Chains A and B, each alone.
Chain A
Amino acid sequence: MQAIPHNRNTTSREMGMVILALLPGLVALSWIFGPGVWLHIAIMVPAALLAESAILLLRGRSPFTALKDLSALLTALLLAAALPPLLPWWMAVLGVLFAIILAKQLYGGLGQNPFNPAMVGYVILLISFPLEMTRWLPPTGLDGTTLSMGQSLQIILGNSDLLTLDALTSATPLDTMRTQISQGHTIQEGLLQLDSGLLAGAGWEWINLAFLAGGLLLLLRGTISWQIPLSMILALTLTALLFNIIDPAQFNTPLYHLLSGGIMLGAFFIATDPVTASTTPLGRIWFGAGIGVLVYIIRTWGGYPDAVAFSVLLMNMFAPLIDYFTQPSIYGAVKQKPSARSKQP
Chain B
Amino acid sequence: MSRPLQTFHGGIHPEQQKGQTRAVPLQPYPHPGGELVIPLNQGIGSANRAVVAVGDTVRAGQRLSECFTPLSVPIHAPYDGTVTAIERRPLTHPSGISCLSVVIVPDDDTSPPAPTTDLPASTSSASLDALLATLSTETLIERIRMGGIIGLGGAGFPTATKIRKGEAQNIETLIINGMECEPYITCDDRLMQDHSDEIIRGIEVLNQLLKPTEILLGIEDNKPEAIAAMQRAATASSARIEVVSCPTCYPSGGEKQLIQILTGKEVPSGGFPHQLAILCQNVATVYAIYHAIEERPLTQRSVTISGDGVAQPGNFHVAIGTPIRPLLESCGLTDQPVSVTVGGPMMGFPLKNLESSITKTVNCLIVNKSATSPSQNSPLNCIRCAACSDACPVSLLPQQLYWATQARNFDEAQSLHLFDCIECGCCSYVCPSYLPLVDYYRHAKGTVRNQQREQVKADHARNRHEFRDARLQREKEEKAKKLAAKKAALKAKKANESRAQHESSAVEADKKATIQAAIDRAKARKAAL
Given that A4-B438, A7-B429 are contacting pairs, would A331 and B385 also be in contact in the complex, using a CB cutoff of 8 Å?
Answer: no
Residue of B9, B339, B381, B416 with most partner-chain A CB within 10 A = B381
Q: Does any Cβ of B come within 8 Å of A197's Cβ?
A: no
In the complex, which residues of chain A have a beta carbon less than 8 angstroms from the beta carbon of B260? 331
Q: Which of A89-97, A174-182, A322-330 contacts B (4 or more CB under 8 A)?
A: A322-330
Residue of B15, B269, B400 with most partner-chain A CB within 10 A = B269
Contact count band on A: 35 or more
Q: Verify A279–B429 contact, CB threshold 8 A.
A: no
Closest beta carbon of chain A to B29's beta carbon, Å: 25
Q: Verify A1–B439 contact, CB threshold 8 A.
A: yes
Q: Which of B34-87 contact A (CB under 8 A)?
A: none
Closest beta carbon of chain B to A73's beta carbon, Å: 15
Q: Does any Cβ of B come within 8 Å of A65's Cβ?
A: yes
In the complex, which residues of chain B have a beta carbon less than 8 angstroms from the beta carbon of A4? 345-346, 425, 428-429, 436, 438
Closest beta carbon of chain A to B261's beta carbon, Å: 12
Given that A7-B14, A111-B383, A332-B269 are contacting pairs, would A2 and B400 also be in contact in the complex, using a CB cutoff of 8 Å?
Answer: no
Residue in contact with A334 in the complex, picked from B268, B350, B432, B433, CB distance below 8 Å: B268
Q: Verify A327–B432 contact, CB threshold 8 A.
A: no
Closest beta carbon of chain B to A74's beta carbon, Å: 11
Q: Verify A279–B399 contact, CB threshold 8 A.
A: yes
The CA of A281 and the CA of B392, in the complex, are separated in Å by: 13
Q: Verify A330–B269 contact, CB threshold 8 A.
A: yes
In the complex, which residues of chain A have a beta carbon less than 8 angstroms from the beta carbon of B383? 11, 71, 110-111, 274-275
Please, what's the 1-or-0 string for A81-108, where 1 marks a CB less than 8 Å from any CB in chain B? 0000000000000000000000000000
How many residues of chain B get a CB closer than 8 Å to chain A's CBs?
A: 63
Q: Verify B389–A279 contact, CB threshold 8 A.
A: yes
Q: Chain B: which residue is nearest A341 at the CB level?
A: B414
Q: Which of B1-22 contact A (CB under 8 A)?
A: 8-9, 12, 14-15
The CA of A187 and the CA of B452, in the complex, are separated in Å by: 67
Q: Chain B: which residue is nearest A10 at the CB level?
A: B432
Residue in contact with B396 in the complex, picked from A13, A279, A330, A341, CB distance below 8 Å: A330
In the complex, which residues of chain B have a beta carbon less than 8 angstroms from the beta carbon of A111? 380-384, 433
The CA of A186 and the CA of B438, in the complex, are separated in Å by: 60
Q: Verify B269–A9 contact, CB threshold 8 A.
A: no
In the complex, which residues of chain B have a beta carbon less than 8 angstroms from the beta carbon of A11? 380, 383, 385, 432-433
The CA of A109 and the CA of B374, in the complex, are separated in Å by: 22
In the complex, which residues of chain B have a beta carbon less than 8 angstroms from the beta carbon of A334? 268-271
Q: Verify B449–A345 contact, CB threshold 8 A.
A: yes
Q: Verify A2–B341 contact, CB threshold 8 A.
A: yes
Closest beta carbon of chain A to B268's beta carbon, Å: 5
The CA of A65 and the CA of B397, in the complex, are separated in Å by: 27
Could you jot down 14 A-B contacts, CB within 8 Å? Answer: A2-B349, A6-B377, A10-B433, A274-B383, A281-B386, A323-B397, A327-B416, A330-B394, A330-B396, A331-B267, A332-B271, A333-B266, A333-B269, A341-B414
